[in-house]
Amino acid sequence: MTATTFAKCTRCQKKYRSRGEWNAVYNAGIMTGILCPACQTPEENAEAVINQATTFYGTTQPAQPADVAELLVNRCEKAVRKFAELAVDTGISFPVSDVVKSVIDGLPAVYLKAFDQPLADVLTGIVQSILDGSIYEGGSTNA
């Protein structure tokens, strides 16, 4: 189903004309409606931004473990950037666990078993390394 299938905002009944940042409404993974920009709460908009930044739509498994690691680092970097932007825009601080959850929620099941330890622990380490700069050449940015 697409937004044009619904044609109107679920809340205000405004017609969908492919303009603006409309959000899809899902219930148990099934699209049940759409929301126009005026009807979206800041929380709904933030959730949509995070989902867009962290959701993986591909269906193939990377061929090499290095590909998995690179994908996870890239997804963590995107999520950290989005959460940082949201923190600046809203004044709300987010725990590392929220960033990790958003990355995990966007990954296909094949990635969940790519490591010997729980994926949440791997991603927590990656996110913390991004935040303190130690993942990048030159080490930590903390003095």
Helix and strand numbers (H, E) in the chain are 6, 2
- Is 70 exceeded by the pLDDT of residue 135? yes
d(CA 2, CA 85): 28
pLDDT confidence of residue 127: 92
pLDDT confidence of residue 1: 43
Residues 46, 114, single domain; the answer is yes
Residues 127, 90, single domain; the answer is yes
Q: Give the mean model confidence (pLDDT) for residues 103-130.
A: 80
**Nearest CA-CA partner of 94 in 81, 111, 112, 113:** 81
Residues 49, 32, single domain; the answer is no
- Is residue 138 one of the residues assigned to a domain? no
Residues 29, 55, single domain; the answer is no
Confidence of residue 6 (pLDDT cuts 50, 70, 90): low
Question: Domain residues for 127?
Answer: 42-132
Please say whether the beta carbons of 113 and 107 come within 8 A.
no
- Is residue 31 one of the residues assigned to a domain? yes
Which pLDDT tens digit goes with each residue over 53-95?
666 555 455 445 566 777 888 889 999 999 999 889 888 888 9
Confidence of residue 106 (pLDDT cuts 50, 70, 90): confident
Please say whether the beta carbons of 120 and 107 come within 8 A.
no
- Is residue 139 one of the residues assigned to a domain? no
Residues 21, 71, single domain; the answer is no
- Is 90 exceeded by the pLDDT of residue 52? no
Q: How many CB atoms lie within 10 A of CB 83?
A: 24
- Is residue 52 one of the residues assigned to a domain? yes
33: which residues sit within 8 A by CB, 6+ positions away? 6, 9, 10, 24, 25
Max CA pair span of the chain: 55
Which pLDDT tens digit goes with each residue over 13-41?
998 887 778 888 877 667 788 889 899 98
**Which residue is listed with tokens 């931004």?**
49
Query: Which residues, listed in sequence order, are joined to residue 35 by a DSSP beta bridge?
Result: 23
- Is 90 exceeded by the pLDDT of residue 12? yes
- Is 50 exceeded by the pLDDT of residue 3? no
